[in-house]
Amino acid sequence: MIEDDFYATLKFKSGEEVFAKVAASEEDDRTVLLVTNPIIVEEIKNKFGIEGYKIEPWLKTTTDDMFVINLDDILTMSESSDVEMIMMYQEYVRSSNNKNSSNYSKIDRKMGRIGNVNDMKEVLEKIFKST
Protein backbone atom coordinates (compact mmCIF):
# COMPACT_ATOMS: atom_id res chain seq x y z
CA MET A 1 0.00 0.00 0.00
CA ILE A 2 1.42 3.38 -1.03
CA GLU A 3 0.64 6.48 0.99
CA ASP A 4 0.03 9.89 -0.60
CA ASP A 5 3.20 11.58 -1.77
CA PHE A 6 4.64 14.69 -0.13
CA TYR A 7 7.72 16.90 -0.39
CA ALA A 8 10.43 16.21 2.16
CA THR A 9 14.03 16.68 3.10
CA LEU A 10 15.74 13.36 3.84
CA LYS A 11 18.90 13.04 5.90
CA PHE A 12 20.63 9.71 5.32
CA LYS A 13 22.70 7.97 7.95
CA SER A 14 25.65 8.51 5.58
CA GLY A 15 25.26 12.29 6.00
CA GLU A 16 23.76 13.01 2.59
CA GLU A 17 20.82 15.38 2.49
CA VAL A 18 18.32 15.40 -0.37
CA PHE A 19 15.02 17.06 -1.18
CA ALA A 20 12.41 15.07 -3.11
CA LYS A 21 8.83 14.07 -3.58
CA VAL A 22 8.37 11.06 -1.29
CA ALA A 23 5.78 8.33 -0.82
CA ALA A 24 5.93 5.63 1.84
CA SER A 25 5.13 2.04 0.99
CA GLU A 26 4.75 -1.11 3.07
CA GLU A 27 6.48 -4.07 1.43
CA ASP A 28 6.53 -7.40 3.26
CA ASP A 29 7.35 -6.45 6.84
CA ARG A 30 9.33 -3.27 6.14
CA THR A 31 8.68 0.31 5.12
CA VAL A 32 10.37 1.72 2.06
CA LEU A 33 10.31 5.21 0.60
CA LEU A 34 9.63 5.85 -3.06
CA VAL A 35 11.72 8.93 -3.78
CA THR A 36 11.10 10.84 -7.01
CA ASN A 37 13.69 13.15 -8.59
CA PRO A 38 15.87 13.59 -5.50
CA ILE A 39 18.03 16.72 -5.58
CA ILE A 40 20.90 18.15 -3.60
CA VAL A 41 20.53 21.83 -2.70
CA GLU A 42 23.66 23.82 -1.97
CA GLU A 43 23.69 27.41 -0.76
CA ILE A 44 25.82 29.79 -2.80
CA LYS A 45 27.32 32.38 -0.47
CA ASN A 46 29.28 35.55 -0.99
CA LYS A 47 30.78 37.87 1.59
CA PHE A 48 27.37 39.46 2.20
CA GLY A 49 25.50 36.21 2.92
CA ILE A 50 23.45 33.77 0.89
CA GLU A 51 23.25 34.76 -2.75
CA GLY A 52 21.31 31.82 -4.13
CA TYR A 53 21.03 28.07 -4.41
CA LYS A 54 22.64 25.46 -6.62
CA ILE A 55 20.44 22.48 -7.43
CA GLU A 56 21.82 19.27 -8.85
CA PRO A 57 20.63 15.68 -9.12
CA TRP A 58 21.38 13.33 -6.22
CA LEU A 59 22.76 10.67 -8.56
CA LYS A 60 24.49 12.10 -11.60
CA THR A 61 25.18 8.92 -13.57
CA THR A 62 21.63 7.67 -14.04
CA THR A 63 18.56 8.76 -15.94
CA ASP A 64 16.19 7.08 -13.48
CA ASP A 65 13.87 9.45 -11.68
CA MET A 66 12.47 7.16 -8.97
CA PHE A 67 14.39 5.31 -6.28
CA VAL A 68 13.38 2.86 -3.56
CA ILE A 69 15.04 3.68 -0.25
CA ASN A 70 14.91 1.49 2.83
CA LEU A 71 13.60 3.47 5.81
CA ASP A 72 16.41 1.98 7.91
CA ASP A 73 18.91 4.07 5.87
CA ILE A 74 17.20 7.34 6.85
CA LEU A 75 18.36 9.25 9.90
CA THR A 76 15.56 11.79 9.79
CA MET A 77 12.89 13.07 7.42
CA SER A 78 11.11 16.40 7.48
CA GLU A 79 7.99 17.09 5.46
CA SER A 80 8.31 20.44 3.68
CA SER A 81 5.67 23.07 3.18
CA ASP A 82 8.24 25.69 2.09
CA VAL A 83 6.63 27.09 -1.06
CA GLU A 84 9.90 28.57 -2.37
CA MET A 85 11.74 25.26 -2.02
CA ILE A 86 8.90 23.31 -3.63
CA MET A 87 8.77 25.75 -6.55
CA MET A 88 12.56 25.48 -7.09
CA TYR A 89 12.22 21.69 -7.05
CA GLN A 90 9.31 21.70 -9.52
CA GLU A 91 11.20 24.03 -11.87
CA TYR A 92 14.24 21.73 -11.72
CA VAL A 93 12.08 18.68 -12.54
CA ARG A 94 10.39 20.55 -15.42
CA SER A 95 13.69 21.72 -16.89
CA SER A 96 15.34 18.29 -16.54
CA ASN A 97 12.36 16.68 -18.30
CA ASN A 98 12.75 19.18 -21.15
CA LYS A 99 16.46 18.34 -21.45
CA ASN A 100 15.64 14.65 -21.73
CA SER A 101 13.26 15.27 -24.61
CA SER A 102 14.85 16.30 -27.86
CA ASN A 103 13.91 19.98 -27.62
CA TYR A 104 17.44 21.28 -28.03
CA SER A 105 17.72 24.42 -30.12
CA LYS A 106 20.02 24.54 -33.09
CA ILE A 107 22.91 26.95 -32.63
CA ASP A 108 22.70 29.96 -34.91
CA ARG A 109 24.27 33.41 -35.17
CA LYS A 110 21.27 35.06 -33.46
CA MET A 111 22.38 33.37 -30.21
CA GLY A 112 25.79 35.01 -30.32
CA ARG A 113 29.22 34.60 -31.85
CA ILE A 114 29.97 31.28 -33.49
CA GLY A 115 33.65 30.63 -33.96
CA ASN A 116 36.43 28.23 -33.21
CA VAL A 117 39.39 28.27 -30.87
CA ASN A 118 41.98 29.16 -33.53
CA ASP A 119 39.98 32.15 -34.80
CA MET A 120 39.47 33.47 -31.29
CA LYS A 121 43.16 32.94 -30.48
CA GLU A 122 44.13 35.13 -33.45
CA VAL A 123 41.67 37.84 -32.42
CA LEU A 124 42.93 37.87 -28.84
CA GLU A 125 46.58 37.94 -29.94
CA LYS A 126 45.88 40.96 -32.18
CA ILE A 127 44.18 42.75 -29.29
CA PHE A 128 47.08 41.88 -26.97
CA LYS A 129 49.74 43.07 -29.44
CA SER A 130 47.91 46.36 -30.11
CA THR A 131 47.89 47.33 -26.43
pLDDT in tens, 100-114: 555 556 666 666 666
Is residue 74 assigned to a domain?
A: yes
Is pTM beyond 0.75 here? no
Q: Helix (H, G, I), strand (E, B), or coil: what is residue 76?
A: strand
State the DSSP H helix or E strand holding residue 30, giving kind and residue range, or none if neither. strand 30-46
Is residue 33 assigned to a domain?
A: yes
**Predicted confidence (pLDDT) per residue in 73-107, tens digit:** 999 999 999 898 999 999 999 888 776 555 556 66
More confident residue, 29 or 79: 79
The values of phi and psi at residue 116, to 5°, are -130, 175
Is residue 39 assigned to a domain?
A: yes
Is residue 113 assigned to a domain?
A: no
Q: What is the CATH number of the domain that holds 22?
A: 2.30.30.100
Total tally of structural domains belonging to the chain: 1
Is residue 28 assigned to a domain?
A: yes
Question: How far apart are the C-alpha atoms of 77 and 26, rounded to whole Å?
Answer: 17
Is residue 118 assigned to a domain?
A: no
Is residue 124 assigned to a domain?
A: no
The closest alpha carbon to 10, from 90, 70, 98, belongs to 70
Question: How far apart are the C-alpha atoms of 54 and 81, rounded to whole Å?
Answer: 20
Is residue 95 assigned to a domain?
A: yes
- Tell me 104's DSSP state: P
**Predicted confidence (pLDDT) per residue in 36-55, tens digit:** 999 999 888 888 877 788 89
The boundaries of the domain holding residue 40 are 6-101
Q: How many CA atoms lie within 13 A of 91 on its CB side?
A: 9
